[in-house]
Structure 1
Amino acid sequence: MMPLDLSGAASELDPSVRAEPPLVFMFPGQSSRYPGMLDRLVELHRPNADLLAWASDLLGRDLGAQYHADAGENAFARNVDVQVGVFLANHMFMATLDAAGIEAELSLGLSLGEWNHLVHIGAVSFADGLRAVDHRGRCYDEGPRGWMAAIQPISDEDLAAVVSSAAKLGVLEVVNLNSPQQHVVAGERAAVEAAVEHAEDEFYAQPQIIERNVPMHSSLFRVVGERFREHLEQLEFAAPRLPYLPNRLGELLDNPSRAQLIDLLSTHVHEPVLWRRSLDHIVAQHPDAVFVEVGPMSVLHNLMHRKWLRNRKFRTDSREQLADHFASVVAKLGVDERKGPRACTPS
């Protein structure tokens, strides 16, 4: 794959023109990963190699070697490896967009992606965000065991029936409300397995086990959230330059206090992710908002089916011809056919 040539990408745009509708970055979570994704991002934008080397020095391990394509799925053997890898990939995609002069007026992140959102809005530095994600992953690895499953298509009412039945076998909770038809449940293995079977047999859903170790966002992880709070208490936060949209609330906060940030980020570990509500909230305020998934794969892009939201949407990743795809997305984001050039300023 040839490196993406971003020279002059922003110079063709008029920074004096502020475009409407707003651009919204969406940062994906832990499921958005695959072997070799960081290698491809270095090929796409060479400065990402410097970022990867710097991150390796910060964490004290060779991340380039760890996430090399040859490592395969072993690169994600621990949850801390998953979290650091996805956080870095999301940030590299954002850095590559930034080099092309593409900036967003709003952002949000799903689960782990909320930490990329915090970096984007200026609430935490990239270095502190990386350290926090590394610590967060270690806390997850030491937490209670459990499973998670995505279930779709299924209505809220049918999902409630599934959970009520399966919860007789152990802890089971709806932990991600991602779209009108897609949800994630988490809890003890037996209960998750029962929920998968019930959803498939009774409601013709297509469930998929997405995690066999950590029951994220469930009450089982309360002890993990409490432990992670200790790290958050030591973290340096800044006043964000853009609104904060926490998974816990699903609505924009213009001026969150330090106490709010700590509380929302610690309870985020063991409380549901309100992704559907978050997108509905943005669209209610900005009906013509343009959404861009900034990270590996296209999970968030695909969740936004047209029966729910009809907004324009883009994905930055492509499993084939990444450079060509990315350049095409930059061109489409850089110039809005109705409004003219977007207000994009290179950093």
Structure 2
Amino acid sequence: MTTPIFMFPGQSSRYPELLSRLRGSAPDELAATLGEASSALGRDLEVHYRADNAAMFVTNRDVQVGVFLANHVHLLALERRGVRAPLSLGLSLGEYNHLVHVGALGFVEALQLVDARGTLYDAGPRGEMLSVFPLPLAELEEVVARAREHGVVEISGYNSPSQHVLAGEPAALAAASDIVREQLGGECVTIERHLPMHSSLFEPVGAALAPLLQAARWRAPRLPYLPNVLGAIEPAPTPARLVELLTLHVYRPVLWRASIEAALRRYPDATFVEVGPRAVLHNLLTKRWVSAKRLRTDLDTPDHYDALAKELCGSL
């Protein structure tokens, strides 16, 4: 028997059909989620997240809300079929789905925080983010040290042994990219052209979010809380500690590799299930790093949730 561990993706998993394609596979969960979310935020999200809406992701607020909602629909579809996970984790934005799953926040409370968080991000400092691979950490640290003469550049995501994310000012990221490509033979992909998330440049955004986090209705988590900024299970997830960690979460690096390895130490028999759009987290778990089985929810086949439930639970 295997132990399911849910992984909730972040903003880079967005695509135009992330919600509309769920009409075929999870229509009830989609309708309920969009209805509740539209009422909570006071705008028609079903209309906004139609695949033909060219303005769907114009703002970061809309990106964050869209991915958060898609993750939640996928979670509901699994839970309706009896799939339960004793542990979960979420990358960046996905940590808010993780908070809902572990019981620290209700769905509406988390949605409202995500909506406000996105608004603050839109008003935050400008910058960029760059995915770098396949480069060992030691080499990337040398790149960052050299590129800093051109401006702020920091490692903002430790995603796997060979894939990391840089964030900072455009000139410094361009210098880092040149070194990686021309001198080290690595690859770089720009994943964000406006916001230097999870870097020190975003500390003012964390300060602005903190009062909203303090005002949230926190609950005692029923499952372990595994925050990005620790890469380990938080032993005392009090409301004050949750606020502290989620404030830091805005401008500190994502320790995804450490988080995955912490999950494996707790459940060596884990099957990792990406619960959300695309397969970004699924694909990070290369066999050279993690031998555990990996599954994902964002598939085209109409009965794929049933197939996942059968594989994970043995029966429907």
TM over 0.5: yes
Q: CA deviation at 1:157?
A: 1.3
3-state SS, counterpart of residue 77 of structure 2? helix
Q: What residue number does 2:308 align with? A: 329
Q: What residue number does 1:181 align with? A: 162
The Cα offsets for residues 95-151 of structure 1, whole Å up to 9 and x where unpaired, read as 111111111111000000000000000000000000000000001000000000000
CA distance, structure 2, for counterparts of residue 160 and residue 265 of structure 1: 26
CA distance, structure 2, for counterparts of residue 129 and residue 215 of structure 1: 23
CA distance, structure 1, for counterparts of residue 247 and residue 142 of structure 2: 30
Q: What residue number does 1:139 align with? A: 120
Deviates more, 1:92-101 or 1:49-58: 49-58
3-state SS, counterpart of residue 150 of structure 1? strand
CA distance, structure 1, for counterparts of residue 140 and residue 5 of structure 2: 30
Calculate percent identity across the aligned residue pairs.
Answer: 48
State yes or no: 1:86 paired with 2:58: no
Q: CA deviation at 1:21?
A: 3.4
| Residue of structure 2 aligned with 1:164, choices 140, 145, 150 | 145
Q: What residue number does 1:241 align with? A: 222
Q: CA deviation at 1:33?
A: 1.0
CA distance, structure 2, for counterparts of residue 166 and residue 323 of structure 1: 48
Cα distance, 1:50–1:282 mapped onto 2, change above 3 Å: closer
CA distance, structure 2, for counterparts of residue 42 and residue 98 of structure 1: 17
Q: CA deviation at 1:254?
A: 4.4
TM-score (normalizing by structure 1): 0.88
State yes or no: 1:105 paired with 2:86: yes
Amino acid paired to 1:283: L
The Cα offsets for residues 135-174 of structure 1, whole Å up to 9 and x where unpaired, read as 0000100000000000010001110111111111100000
State yes or no: 1:123 paired with 2:104: yes
CA distance, structure 2, for counterparts of residue 80 and residue 277 of structure 1: 28
Q: CA deviation at 1:326?
A: 3.4
Q: CA deviation at 1:77?
A: 0.6
3-state SS, counterpart of residue 31 of structure 2? helix
State yes or no: 1:274 paired with 2:255: yes
3-state SS, counterpart of residue 180 of structure 1? coil
> Does the 8 Å contact 1:239/1:255 carry over to 2?
no
CA distance, structure 1, for counterparts of residue 27 and residue 129 of structure 2: 36
Q: What residue number does 1:66 align with? A: 48
State yes or no: 1:222 paired with 2:203: yes
3-state SS, counterpart of residue 323 of structure 1? coil
CA distance, structure 2, for counterparts of residue 332 and residue 197 of structure 1: 45
CA distance, structure 2, for counterparts of residue 42 and residue 100 of structure 1: 17
3-state SS, counterpart of residue 262 of structure 1? helix
CA RMSD in angstroms comes to: 1.2
State yes or no: 1:55 paired with 2:37: yes
The Cα offsets for residues 23-66 of structure 1, whole Å up to 9 and x where unpaired, read as 10000000001002111113211211122022111101111111
Q: CA deviation at 1:206?
A: 1.3
Q: Which has the higher Rg, Structure 1 or Structure 2? A: 1
> Does the 8 Å contact 1:242/1:254 carry over to 2?
no
Query: Mind listing any 5+ residue stretches in structure 2 that lack a counterpart?
Result: none
Amino acid paired to 1:45: A
How many residue pairs match? The answer is 315
3-state SS, counterpart of residue 20 of structure 2? helix
The Cα offsets for residues 165-187 of structure 1, whole Å up to 9 and x where unpaired, read as 11111000000000000000000
Q: What residue number does 1:7 align with? A: none
